[in-house]
A and B are shown apart, each in its own frame.
Chain A
C-alpha cells in the first residue's frame, strides 16, 4: 500500500522535471549517420553508378518493395535499366543496404518524405540516384571484380594476375 502511494508521489514529482521532448520541426533532432531513412543509390568514386543490378536488395526486402531490371552496356558493365522503390511499402529495415555487395543502395538520414498522394512515394531510378558516394567513399566494385568492363581489361583488377597466354609453351 505504501509502495503504491510512493509510486503515485514519484509520478507527481515528475511534474517538476524538464520534458525530454524535442520540439520537431521547430528544433531539428540529431540523427546518427547510420539512421535508416530515405533510400538512395550512390555512385562509385569515378562517378559511375554503383548498382550492378544483382537483385540482392530486392530479394532481401521483406515487403518486396524493390523492383528493378538489370542490363549491360556494350563493354559488359552492368547497371539497372530501371530501379524502383515503393516507399509507401518500405519499412526502412535496411536489409537492402546489408545485402548490397557494391555499397550502391544506402539508407540516409532523411525521413521527411510525406506525400498527399501515394503515387508520389514510388521512386524511380532518377529519384534515387545521387551524385556522390554516400557513406562509403572509397569502394568501387568493378575494381575488385573479375569481369572485364570498358576501361578495365582482364587482369587489371585488384589482386589479379595478367591473363594467361594459352599459346605459351612455358611451364
Chain B
C-alpha cells in the first residue's frame, strides 16, 4: 500500500496502480477517456490531468496526467485545483470542437462516456465558430455501426481490437487531426471480439447494429443479470428488453469469468428470442402428418394429465444440455431417474462425464477464465478455441503476455503503462502450444502448432505427460517429430509457474481429454500448480453430467422394446444428437411425443404436442459452466401469455396428472423450491442455493428493480390494449422486480441489473460498482464452484494411449469444424447472425485434394450416417492428411462425426 494525499487528505492506495485508477477506486469523479482497466494507460486523451505537488511547501505544482503517473508513496495531488479543472474543461472543449451536433440520433446518447465527461467538466457552450471536420463512414458488417465524425481520437478501439484481441483488419490511419479509425476498405470486421468496441468506445463511433432496428435508450431497457447461453464458459451478461422483445446484450463484469469482454456470438446471438420461429402457444398435432393447431393451456394440461397419470412408468424424459439445471431436474423428478435421459448420445454423454470425473479426481483444479489470463504457459490439445470457446481464446491471448511481463518488471515499467509495456515486450509472446486438427488465425501468437488427427493429438499429450513424469504412460512407437515437440513442450510447461492445459470435446475423443489430464497431473505431481481447462459443447453440459442420466441410445432402445411409449423432450433437438435414421425411428415408434421448447426445429416438426418454453430471457435458472461454476440467470421480462419456464410446465404436468409418485413437485411454486429440492436430492448440488440470493432477499426491505429510475412510457405503452395501467407483474422467483420502483443502490453482484451511478450513465459506471477499479465487484458472489478444490491427491494416470492415426485409401476421416457463428443451435437462429454464418464447407489438405483432382470451390459428395451431402471444398495445408474438416452449420451436426466417408467429386453441370 502507498499513502497518497489528494486535495490535502491522506489516502491508502495500491502502489501498483496509477493515480487515475487509485482516484477512481477512492470514489473521486476524475474524467478520463483513453484509459481502460483492461487496456492500461497510454496518455492519449489528456483528460485526466491533475495537479501534482513536490512536497507540502510546493504551492505551485505542475499538471500531470493521472493515468500516466504511478501512485507512489507520498504523492501529493489535487483534483479540485482550479488550473487542473480549467485544463480538463479545455480538453473537452477541444474534443467537442469537431464533435457533431447529433446526440439525438446517436445510439450512444444517454449512455455516452463523452456526454458524462462533458457534464463532469462543466463544458456547456461552444465557442469555436469554424467548420467541423468530417469523415466518411465505413460499412463494418452486420454487428457494428461506424460514425467517424463522433470520434475523439482516444485510440481505445484500436488498442482493444489489435493489441488486446489480436485483430488485423482494423487500424488507425492518417495523421494530425485526420486520424481515422477503421478498416482499409469497407467490409465486415473479422475479429470475433469486435462487439466489445461498442462498450469500449467512449462515444458513438462504434455502436451495436443489431440494436438499431429496435433502437431503445439505455434508460428504457428492462434489464436483468443473465448468463450467456451460447457456449460452456458461462460469461455474465446483462440482457435488455423493451416492449416485449429482447433488445441487446451487454457485458456484465465478473472478476473470475468474463471480466470486461464478451465474444460476438454471445453479444449478438440474442435475436433467436424474438424469432418468428418461436413456439409461443401450446400446440397439438391431431394426426402425425398434419399441421399443428394452437390449443388452450388448460385444455392441453387436461389432456396430458390423465395420459401421464395412467402409465407413469411408460414415460421417457429426455433432458438437454442447453436447459437449466432446474428444468432438467424437474423432468428427472417427473419421470424418475431410471427413465430420465440426458438427451446426449453415449459418446457425448461419456465425454462430458469423463471431463467431470477428471476435474473431480484432481489434483489439477479447473481454471476460470481469469486463471487462464494469468497462466504463463499454455498447451491447447484438440480445441479450436476461437470457435468453440471464443472468450477463452481471448484469455489465452492475454496469458501469452504473462512471460514477457518479466522483462517489463525487470525494466521497472509499471504494468499499466501499456504503450511502454508493449514496446518493451515488443513481439515477444509467452509459450503457447496449440495442437489441433486444423488451424485458425488465432494460432498467430502460438510458439508452436501441431496439426494432426485426434488420435495423434492424444498421443502427443501422452508423450508430453511421460516426458514430465516418467511414471506416466507413454504412447507406443513415437515418431521423432512428436518426440522432440513433446520434449520442448514438457520443458516449457515444467519450468512455468502457472502452467495450463486446455482441452475439450471438440475432437470427440476420449483419448485427447485423458491425455490433457495426464499432462496436467504430471505437472502437479512434479510440484507445478498446473490447472486444467476443458471446453464443453453447451451452456449446461457439465451441469447435466453432474445430474446424471441415461444416454439417448438407451432411451431409444427402451421405446423400441416397448417398455415406454410416451416421450417428453425438454429443449432438445434430437436430430442434432443422433443420426437422422434412429431419430426418425424413435419419434415414429413413440405413441406420444411431447416437446417443451423455445424454437421450432426438426424434432418439433414431428411432435404431437408442443409446449412453449421460456428462453434464457424469459426464465430463471442455474447453469454450470465449464469450470463447474453454478451461476444463476434471471428472467428479463414477463413472458407472453403461455410461455413459461420449462420446470413450471413440468410442474403443471405433474399437478395435472395428480402425480402420486412425486407429491413434492406439486408444491413447487418458486425457483427456490426447485433449487431446494435439487440440493436435497443430489449431494453434488447441496450448495446450489448459494449461487444467488434467495427470492426472499431484500435490500432495506425492497426488491431490486429491473427498470431504471428513468424508465419511460409506463402510462402509455399499454394504452391501446388496456387503458388502466396494469400492475407490475410479480416475480415469484427472484429478488428482482419488473418495475422501476425498489432499491436504487448497489445490490450483491449476481443481482446487478444495470450499471449506473450519479454522473456516470455509460457502462463506465462499472467503476463505481467495483471494490477497487478493475477488481472484484462490491458484495461479490461469484457463483458456486460445485467441484471442490482439493489438496494433494494421488495421481492415477490414464493408460490407453491410442494407436497412430492411419489414413485410409478409400475414405477420409471427416472431423467437425466448429464455427463461432453457426454451430451454436440458438444463436444461429438470430437474424443478425445470418450474414456471418459460413456456408457448409469441407476443408481438405491440398495434396489430398490433388490425389482426388479437386480444385478449391468445387463440390464434393460425402456420406454421413447413410445420407449423402454435397458441399464445396476449401483447401488448407493445416488439415492433417487423410482427414477433412466439415463446418458444423445449418443441417450438419457433430452427432455422427468424426466419421469415415468417401469423397466423390461432383461434376458441375
Contacts and interface: CB of A to CB of B under 8 A. Distances in A.
Given A54-B105, A155-B134, A166-B180, A86 B716 contact: yes
A86 B712 contact: no
Contacts of A55: 110, 216-217, 219-220, 712
A85 B716 contact: yes
Contacts of B136: 154, 163
A162 B715 contact: no
Contact of A146 (B132, B216, B710): B132
In order of increasing CB-CB distance, the 8 nearest A-B pairs are A146-B100, A67-B713, A54-B104, A67-B716, A58-B712, A64-B714, A145-B102, A86-B716
Given A145-B105, A154-B134, A65 B715 contact: yes
Interface stretch (B22-30, B553-561, B717-725): B717-725
Interface in B606-624: none
B149 interface: yes
A152 to B, nearest CB: 12
B696 interface: no
Given A53-B105, A146-B132, A147-B149, 9 more contacts: A55-B110, A64-B714, A89-B716, A145-B105, A146-B134, A161-B133, A163-B134, A164-B174, A171-B176
B288 interface: no
Contact of A88 (B130, B174, B214, B723): B723
Contacts of A56: 104
B105 A78 contact: yes
Nearest to B243: A69
B690 interface: no
Contacts of B215: 53, 69-72
Interface in A41-66: 52-56, 58-59, 61, 63-66
Nearest to A148: B137
A135 interface: no
Contacts of B173: 166
B147 interface: yes
Q: Identify the interface centre among A102, A146, A154, A157: most chain B CB within 10 Å of its CB.
A: A146
A99 to B, nearest CB: 10
Interface string B176-210: 10101000000000000000000000000000000
Interface string B694-714: 000000000000000011111
Interface in B363-391: none
Interface in A122-171: 122, 124, 141, 144-148, 154-155, 157, 159-164, 166, 171
A84 interface: yes
Contacts, number: 131
Given A55-B220, A146-B102, A61 B712 contact: yes
A118 interface: yes
Is chain A's binding surface mostly helix, strand, loop or mixed?
Answer: loop
Contact of A52 (B105, B133, B710): B105
B212 interface: yes
A58 B102 CA distance: 18
Contacts of A162: 134
A43 to B, nearest CB: 16
A71 B105 CA distance: 10
Q: Identify the interface centre among B102, B103, B178: most chain A CB within 10 Å of its CB.
A: B102
Contacts of B216: 55, 70
A63 B180 contact: no
Q: How large is the interface on B (under 10, 10 to 19, 20 to 34, 35 or more residues)?
A: 35 or more
B715 A63 contact: yes
Q: How large is the interface on A (under 10, 10 to 19, 20 to 34, 35 or more residues)?
A: 35 or more
A52 B215 CA distance: 12
B131 interface: yes
A58 B147 contact: no
A81 to B, nearest CB: 9
A118 B130 CA distance: 52
Nearest to B128: A159
B135 A84 contact: no
B266 interface: no
A78 B653 CA distance: 48
Contacts of B480: none
Contacts of A71: 213, 215
Contact of A166 (B101, B176, B178, B720): B178
Interface string B82-113: 00000000000000000011111100011000
Contact of B723 (A102, A119, A161, A166): A119
B110 to A, nearest CB: 8
A164 B715 contact: no
23 contacts: A54-B103, A55-B110, A56-B104, A58-B712, A59-B217, A59-B712, A61-B712, A66-B713, A67-B716, A70-B215, A84-B717, A85-B716, A89-B715, A89-B716, A119-B719, A146-B149, A154-B135, A154-B136, A161-B131, A161-B133, A163-B134, A163-B136, A166-B174
Contacts of A88: 723
Contacts of B714: 64
Nearest to A161: B131
A78 B109 CA distance: 14
Contact of A122 (B149, B217, B710, B720): B720
A84 B178 contact: no
A84 B100 CA distance: 29
Interface in B123-179: 130-137, 147, 149-150, 173-176, 178
Contact of A160 (B132, B178, B212): B132
Contacts of A102: 104
Nearest to B107: A70
A86 B105 CA distance: 24
Contacts of A146: 100-102, 132, 134, 149-150
Contact of A159 (B131, B213, B723): B131
B500 to A, nearest CB: 42
A64 B713 contact: yes
Contacts of B101: 144-146
Interface string A10-24: 000000000000000
